[in-house]
Structure 1
Amino acid sequence: WRAWVSLSYANPVCPMPVNTAAGHLSYDIVLAACAITVALLSSRLAPLAGKRWVYPAIALLLGFSAAANTAAVIWPATKTPLVVPATLAGGAGSALLILLWCEIYSCLGAARVALYYALTIIGGVLLTFLLQGFREEYLYGVLIALPTLSAALAHRSYRCHIPAEDRPAASGRRLIPWKFFLILALFELVASYSSAAISAEHPSLIGSHSTWTTLVGGVLLFVWVWRFSSRLPLSTLYRAPAVLICCGLLIVPLFGIGGSVAGSFCTALGVMLFNALVLLFLCDIAKRFGVSALLLFGIEETLLLVSWAGRGAAEALDRQGLFGALGPAVGSVAAVAVIAIVTLLVLNKREIDERWGLAFLGKRATEEDERSRLAHRCAEVASRGRLTPREGEVLELLAEGKSLSGVASELIIAEGTAKAHTRHIYEKLGINTRQELLDLLMAES
């Protein structure tokens, strides 16, 4: 998909009359709209990889989008009537393909996700560079075939390499890390604002698809996971992208190291690496907490529209000429200040470790620490709900996932008594199901 979108929309090397007429923004809007629709319907659609219709649908939608451009080249009169259906097909097919692969990633461990994601980035860039040398007639054929190949590989990966016990199931949980989405949106906004002019002048250098920035980021991620993850877990480096972005905005231009190109490169690299951390984080949440990957990644994909807002803001400020010659400097200082403050307040130790228990590619908290944190959360909820000591014990056992018979056996009471205690707990806490109890404990953390 990375090679397909780079050669179809981001940096086409052959005529794409339908895509050019529609514009990249229209494609992104359709993609975001379809992604959020899938997110809202995640409880019904999950697991998407288990739906037989999704694979041919992706191949047909993206294949039609590429074929429409081929038809418009051969028969120019068909361009106008094909713009709307081709854009809708391209955006919808891309959303389904992205969410399909993200759902498959969420079935894997963190190390495999990081390695496969890094290899995907590297492979996408290299394939794009290779295909750019194809003759036009061959390239059009490849663009029609690539989505089918990607969908077929996704089908094989899910059916042959994901054990049945690790496959996602339909889930109604709504545990959403809004703070991380806020940070990602902020980084995207700042990066697109700061590199608006550079990305237009050097499209193969700066960008979120197959560019030199993504290639360098993919190589760095791969080397880090392969060689250094045991000594330096990625979860300890969650602020590194913010440091890179600040360097690109302020330090590099201040000392004249490579000019604005180097600064934009650092900024784009920081955003790309934070995107990788967010991918690992969302996969970890989906796997450990049973939240639908379609919900999490559907929301995450809508943030691609933020980059358009950043570019629009940069163009508007340039036209207005605010602050005169000092405009870029004032914008950079303001962006650095906002990033520093928000990162320190939101991406803190408590949010990363205590609330979510994250330790990508490193050692997780010990079982005793996990139990201690769970007991602490239960004690706080019991105190606020004015539960009796016995009800507090039942609450903790329920939080550990024990059934009513398991609770009765653990406390040496009748199962009917355990059921009565559970009913009283739900009444005092104002909830009705165990799922609501688990969500309440997560909110308490």
Structure 2
Amino acid sequence: MRSRFENWRLLGLGFWQAWQIIAMCTDIVAPTSGFLLDRDSALVVLLVLMTLGYLAVVLASRQLAPFIRRRAAYIAASLLMTSGTAAMPLAMMFFVGPAGFALFIFAAACASLGNALLLIMWGELWSALATGRVGRHLYASYTFAFVLFFAIYFLPRLLAVAAAALLPILSTLALYACHREPRREPSVVPLDVRTIPVARLLLCLFVISVIWGLTQGMVVTFAVGDEFFTAKSLLLAGGGIGAITLSMVVSSSPSEALTLYRPVIPAVLVGIILLLLQPAVYPFLGSGLIIMGIYCLDMLIMLVSTDIAFRGRISVALSFGLAILVTRAGTLVGSVSADAFMFAPFWSTQLRTDVCLIAVLLLAVIGMLFFTMADVQQLYVTPRTQKADESLDQKCAAVAAMGNLTKREAEVLLLLARGRSIPYICDELHIAQGTVKHHVSNIYRKLGVYDRQGLLDAIEQGGVGKSALT
């Protein structure tokens, strides 16, 4: 039996994510012993430049997207990130004065621009994949990223810097190797993006990201005396994401978007509460849960925003890039606010508690009223185009004809529409599990959907691939 993660190339995003963790959570890229800036100041500089990097890529997308079709974009992304990653620690450790500061800014700007370009290109790939297992591969990539992170974290500094500089190259090579991955067909009935409450959802993403930046900025006050606080927090976050990945392999979910959304608000909210518990015996538990929730949010953004762009026939770089730009801007605002609070004369433990409690309240309100499971589900529902009195068999037959499905694929489609599992379909049609999965993948590709929920929506709406028109 072939592995659910047979498309190993799709794990290449993990190299990019490992770089992101190293750059933002350790002193490997921005050493604390540098002559120019301390770690906190260097992190703020990186956040500012990363935000500007995403803005630059979004603006450039109007003329250059899709980047994934341009060989020069692969070269630029890898060279910018690699050279910037190698130059930043050199500038921090061996240079002083204006010349050293200018070198660090230039190196950080190169790394940030390459970082934004590479992630947008990965988003362009995810948008068109026809595997039906995009969510699982996203989780697997992030789990792989944590493995890479800890492998590099404990290396001697020079080796760690070299390994971090190599990660963008590996990620770019893996992305380039994905050009033969099967693509799904665009929908005949495109999603009307005007029905999506874009402003409300982006505002929620911004607020959650501000809370993330605030907690990460203040978390050092919870970690006093624990030199392995960051490592333990990341180990917990990686273990949580790994557990979710395993659960997605064992049992399939009807909607990958909902699976990605479920941990976000609860994990961040509970994590903040754990940080506030007194005495805080294990504060890394709270920090780890917050990190896990935010990384789940990142994956949700990548999955949903790229899918919306594909179904709405708009630029992936614009949709996904705008969402990421909003989250990075929110993180920057939160981090700068945390620094301002902690260095203010009125800073106190009580103020820290008050800020965290306000964050908990905001998260609860967002999760209950403004960014709910129903909101995520609604992103995959468009007005029906079929008659209400049509039977399920008639709907499936019509969609199968429009999508040019084979007779066997049409049989599998009907069983999927009736809620049957893969093992059940194997027994019903007397075919191997690998054969059923191959049929399911072909059905997803021809109908232009990601997962089971998208398939059910396509059956209700009659929105299938362009191949149906030819």
> What TM-score does the superposition give when structure 1 sets the normalisation length?
0.69
Q: CA deviation at 1:51?
A: 0.6
Amino acid at match of 1:222: T
RMSD of aligned Cα (Å): 4.1
- Quick check: 1:234–1:362 contact (8 Å CA) kept in 2? no
Amino acid at match of 2:25: A
Aligned position for 1:50: 69
In structure 2, C-alpha distance between the alignment counterparts of 1:335 and 1:71, rounded to whole Å: 38
Distance 1:83 1:349, change over 3 A: closer
Partner of 1:312: 336
What does residue 283 of structure 1 align with? 306
TM alignment of 1:30-429, pairs within 5 A: 30-69=49-88, 72=91, 76=95, 79-109=100-130, 111-158=132-179, 160-163=180-183, 177-199=198-220, 201=223, 211-230=234-253, 234-235=257-258, 238-250=261-273, 253=276, 258=281, 260-302=283-325, 303-320=327-344, 326-348=350-372, 351-357=375-381, 361-364=451-454, 365-367=456-458, 369-370=460-461
Alpha-carbon offset, residue 219 of structure 1: 0.6
Query: CA–CA distance in 2 between the matches of 1:299 and 1:128?
Result: 27
Where 2:299 maps in the other structure, the secondary structure is helix
Contact 1:217 1:269 in 2 (8 A): yes
User: Residues 68 and 184 from structure 1, CA distance in 2 versus in 1: closer, same or farther, beyond 3 angstroms?
Assistant: same
Change (3 A) 1:217 1:164: same
Amino acid at match of 2:380: W
| Deviation, structure 1 residue 203 | 8.2
Q: Report the residue type matching 2:358 in the other structure.
A: A
Name the CA distance, whole Å, in 2 between partners of 1:74 and 1:249.
Answer: 35
Deviation readout 1:346-386 (Å, 9 max, x if unpaired) = 22465333453299754344556436xxxxxxxxxxxxxxx
Structure 2 counterpart of 1:12, one-letter code:
D
Query: C-alpha distance in 2, partners of 1:82/1:144?
Result: 17
Mapped to 1, the partners of 2:286 and 2:209 lie a distance apart of: 15
CA contact (8 A) 1:9 1:24 kept: yes
Deviates more, 1:198-207 or 1:296-305: 198-207
1:390-424 deviations in whole A, cap 9, x for unaligned?
xxxxxxxxx9999xxx9xxxxxxxxxxxxxxxxxx
Output the CA distance in 2 between the equivalents of 1:84 and 1:238: 36
State the 1:253 CA deviation: 3.9
Q: Which residue does the alignment assign to 1:2?
A: 17
Letter of the structure 2 residue corresponding to residue 4 of structure 1: W
- Greater mean deviation of Cα atoms: 5-14 or 38-47: 5-14
Q: TM-score, normalised by structure 2?
A: 0.65
In the superposition, relative to structure 1, how do residues 164 and 23 fare at CA in structure 2: closer, same or farther (>3 Å)?
same
- Match of residue 420 from structure 1: none
Contact 1:125 1:215 in 2 (8 A): yes
Pairing 1:28–2:47 present? yes
1:417 aligned partner: none
| Structure 1 gaps, min length 5 | 167-172, 372-398, 407-445
**Which deviates the most, 220-229 or 43-52?**
220-229
Distance 1:176 1:288 in 2: 16
Deviation at 1:54, TM superposition (A): 0.9
* Aligned counterparts of 2:158 and 2:272: Cα–Cα separation in 1: 42
| Separation (CA, whole Å) in 1 of partners of 2:129 and 2:336 | 38
3-state SS of the aligned residue for 1:211? helix
Cα deviation for residue 53 of structure 1 reads 0.8
Aligned equivalents of 1:197 and 1:325: distance in 2? 11
In the alignment, residue 461 of structure 2 is paired with which amino acid?
Answer: E
Q: Is 1:242–1:343's contact at 8 Å kept on the other side of the alignment?
A: yes
Of residues 188-197 and 230-239 in structure 1, the stretch that sits farther from structure 2 once superposed is 230-239
Identity %: 19
Query: Closer, same or farther in 2 for the Cα pair 1:144/1:270, shift >3 Å?
Result: closer
Deviations 1:84-135 (A, max 9, x none): 3212211111111111112112222475322222222222222222223444
Give, in angstroms, the shift of residue 63 of structure 1. 2.6
Gaps of 5+ in 2: 1-15, 187-192, 383-448
Q: Distance in 2 between matches of 1:116 and 1:19?
A: 40
The structural deviation recorded for 1:235 is 1.6
Is contact 2:46-2:112 (8 Å) kept?
yes
Q: Deviations over 1:265-316 (max 9, x none)?
A: 3333222222222222113212322222211221122222322322333344
3-state DSSP of counterpart to 2:453: coil
